[in-house]
């Protein structure tokens, strides 16, 4: 199983979580690519079987700037990802109320519109509750790996 991990961050935390995800997935025997150029063509060129998106939320519920072009390209070009397995890890802060983890929610909704298949429910990591999001993500990642391999 070839998994592509896409991460978008402002301060680096989502990338740390993505690093942890890469390490666990590789240890479990998955072939992992990180999307370094955040464009739709780069994503499609990888021809991965599965996708893990890891994003923080900024502003008033906005996507981190590095992910904005990819999101718009996916929405505008609408490449169907029919039945492609995916998972989303959303980093946020519950103190932001209604916009808690909104970037993750929006990307998740877009992937569902593209007919990709969410293998386990989105993980929300709340910065007001934890200072170790990368270790907190581990149980979810183990479930995600199990769902991909099962």
100 lines the binding site for ligand FMN (CB under 6 A): yes
Q: Report the C-alpha gap between 112 and 131 in whole angstroms.
A: 30
Q: Residue 87 phi/psi, 5° resolution?
A: -140, 155
Q: Report the C-alpha gap between 50 and 88 in whole angstroms.
A: 11
131 lines the binding site for ligand FMN (CB under 6 A): no
Pick the binder of ligand FMN from 101, 111, 116, 137 (CB under 6 A). 101
Pick the binder of ligand FMN from 71, 86, 96, 140 (CB under 6 A). 96
Considering the complex, state which of residue 81 and residue 141 has its C-beta at the smaller distance from ligand FMN: 141
86 lines the binding site for ligand FMN (CB under 6 A): no
78 lines the binding site for ligand FMN (CB under 6 A): no
Q: What is the 3-state secondary structure (H, E, C) of 67-85?
A: HHHHHHHHHHHCCCCCCCE
């Amino acid at each position: 199983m070839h998994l592509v991990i896409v991460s978008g961050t402002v301060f680096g935390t989502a990338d740390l979580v993505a690093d942890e995800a890469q390490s666990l997935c590789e240890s479990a025997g998955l072939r992992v690519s990180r999307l370094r150029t955040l464009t739709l063509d780069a994503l499609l060129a990888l021809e991965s079987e599965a996708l893990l998106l890891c994003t923080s939320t900024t502003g008033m519920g906005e996507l981190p700037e590095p992910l904005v072009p990819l999101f718009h390209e996916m929405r505008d070009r609408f490449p169907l990802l029919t039945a492609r397995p995916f998972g989303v890890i959303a980093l946020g802060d519950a103190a932001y109320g209604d916009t808690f983890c909104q970037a993750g929610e929006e990307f998740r909704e877009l992937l569902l519109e593209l007919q990709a298949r969410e293998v386990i429910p989105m993980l929300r990591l709340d910065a007001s509750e934890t200072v170790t999001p990368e270790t907190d993500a581990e149980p979810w990642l183990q479930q995600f790996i199990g769902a991909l391999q099962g």
